[in-house]
Structure 1
Amino acid sequence: MRTGIFAKTFAGTTPDAVLAAARDAGYASVQYNFACSGLGALPETIPDTAVAAIRDASAKSGVAIAAISATYNMIHPDIGTREAGRRSFAEIASVAHRAGSNLLTVCTGSRDAADQWRDHPDNQGAEAWQDMIAEFGHLLAIAERHDVFIGVEPELANVINSAAQARRLIDTMASERIRIVLDPANLFEHEDTDTRDRIIDEAIDLLKDSIAIAHAKDRNPDGSFATAGKGVIDYPRYVAALKRAGFDGDVITHGLSAAEAPGVAAFLAPLLASEGRGA
């Protein structure tokens, strides 16, 4: 298991600067975002020079590209907005292997036109589900064409808002191209300790055959997000559950400042290295 971080945690619009900062903070991998190349998170076109710069920076720093963000609002109420996001997904997919990764991360979106991370009463309706399924049909064709995988992250405010819904998506699409980005802090908001532990354990068990990367952020007692290790999640238990499930991939932290990054790396590294597999 490697300790990783969102590349955009660090300031800079060149991969050299960003990956060097990740390395110096103690990380072996990043979830890359093309904003770190000065192109925005969803570029319409990606120059060959930008792809080469990522590859070269990864080789120079020793920091792997675990995944690349291609997140857009898959159920935006405006179809044109969805289509623009899909075109960017396709552009990122076309360069992913050359940039060093075969995994593109997405969220499943919200009917909220202004904020894909904000809940909307229509998100759990049949029409939103069907729009999402149709969008995945397009993305899977792109993924097949470019031999990449799609990492779907359950989010409380999105269509896929639980492990059970993620399992439903996998079973519905019946494609090995769909993988899961599992973030324990996205599975609950306010729960007691026993319920929280059960939700996380059950999610890992339900999705263990499809988890591509695991995320590491936390929740404060009031339900707001916190830096990994600073909130209510039992991280030794979470990592042990991942290990029991056979997961040995990247654990990517985010939702923290660059100043906090070395401390989180120091917190996660011994947990990921430990051979202990008990809760």
Structure 2
Amino acid sequence: MQLAIFAKTFTTTGALPVLRAVADAGYAAAQFNLACLGLPSMPDSIEPDAARSVVEASRQTGVSIAAVSGTYNMIHPDRRVRDQGLARLEVLAASCADMGTRLITLCTGTRDAEDQWRWHADNATDAAWSDLRVEMEAAIAIAERFDIELGIEPELANVVSSARAARRLLDEVNSKRLRIVLDPANLFEVADSAERHRLIDEAVDLLAAEIGMAHAKDRHADGSFAAAGQGVVDFPHFISRLQAAGFDGPLITHGLMEAEAPGVGAFLRSALEESGRA
């Protein structure tokens, strides 16, 4: 399993400075974000030289590009906002080869018009699911055109709010272009140890064949997010379940400050070692 980090964790700008910071902090790979180039995360255009600077920096530093962030609100209540996001997704997809990656991470979205990471009661409606299906089919058509994959993440605040919802979408869409990003801290808010383990086990059992990437952030006992190793997530258990399911892809940490990056990396390496002994 490859230890990785969100490139946006680091405050410097430019592909080479950012990926050098990733390497210096002890990580072998990164999930890139166009904000690291001083652009919007989902820009209206990407100059070829800007995209190629990412893969060149990857070669110079030895840091591979596991994915690039392409999150927009896929079920925003305003169709025009969704159309704009889809157009920007195509821009990003067209530059993936130049950036050295084949995976774009998505946000399945919320009916909240202001915050794509905030739950809205209408997320649970048939209309929201229908809009997601339409949007996802269009996104998959883009992925087919540019020979890339799309990663979705079960996330409590989004329409795909659980591993079961993710399984439903995978089965309904039935595309090898659609992959799962699994973050244990997004499977619960407040839960006891037994329930946390149950949710992790269920998610891996349901989604194992489609997991393309794992995320690693944590939660405090009160439900607030924390850097990996500072909360209640049992990472050796999570990692061992992934390994038992045959997953050997990137484990990407986020939700941490730049100064915490070396320590979090050390914690996750220890968890990887512990899971290997289990």
TM-score where L is the length of structure 2: 0.98
Aligned twin of 1:14: 14
Aligned twin of 1:209: 209
2-structure distance, mates of 1:16, 1:276: 33
2-structure distance, mates of 1:9, 1:138: 30
Conserved 8 A contact 1:75-1:82: yes
Aligned ranges 1:1-279 → 2 under 5 Å: 1-273=1-273, 276=276, 278=278
Question: What secondary structure is seen at the aligned counterpart in 1 of 2:276?
Answer: coil
Question: What secondary structure is seen at the aligned counterpart in 2 of 1:134?
Answer: helix
User: Cα deviations across residues 125-165 of structure 1 (Å, max 9, x unaligned)?
Assistant: 00000000000010011000000000001110100000000
Q: Name the amino acid aligned to 2:153.
A: E
Query: How much has 1:272 moved relative to structure 2?
Result: 2.9
1-structure distance, mates of 2:91, 2:103: 13
Conserved 8 A contact 2:236-2:274: no
Conserved 8 A contact 2:218-2:229: yes
Query: How much has 1:10 moved relative to structure 2?
Result: 0.2
Q: Name the amino acid aligned to 2:58.
A: S
2-structure distance, mates of 1:277, 1:96: 37
Q: Name the amino acid aligned to 1:204.
A: V
Query: How much has 1:95 moved relative to structure 2?
Result: 1.0
Question: What secondary structure is seen at the aligned counterpart in 1 of 2:84?
Answer: helix
Quote the RMSD (CA, aligned, Å): 1.0
Query: How much has 1:271 moved relative to structure 2?
Result: 3.0
Q: Name the amino acid aligned to 1:255.
A: G
Query: How much has 1:51 moved relative to structure 2?
Result: 1.0
Structure 1: gaps spanning 5 or more residues: none
Could you tell me the percent identity over the aligned residues? 54
Question: What secondary structure is seen at the aligned counterpart in 1 of 2:127?
Answer: helix
User: Cα deviations across residues 242-265 of structure 1 (Å, max 9, x unaligned)?
Assistant: 100100000000000000000011
Question: What secondary structure is seen at the aligned counterpart in 2 of 1:91?
Answer: helix
1-structure distance, mates of 2:28, 2:215: 14
2-structure distance, mates of 1:210, 1:277: 25
1-structure distance, mates of 2:110, 2:226: 23
Conserved 8 A contact 1:240-1:277: no
Question: What secondary structure is seen at the aligned counterpart in 2 of 1:31?
Answer: strand
Q: Name the amino acid aligned to 2:264.
A: V
Query: How much has 1:39 moved relative to structure 2?
Result: 1.2
When residues 186 and 275 of structure 1 are mapped into structure 2, their CA distance, relative to the original with a 3 A threshold, is closer
Structure 2: gaps spanning 5 or more residues: none
Aligned residues: 278
Q: Name the amino acid aligned to 1:149.
A: E
2-structure distance, mates of 1:190, 1:233: 11
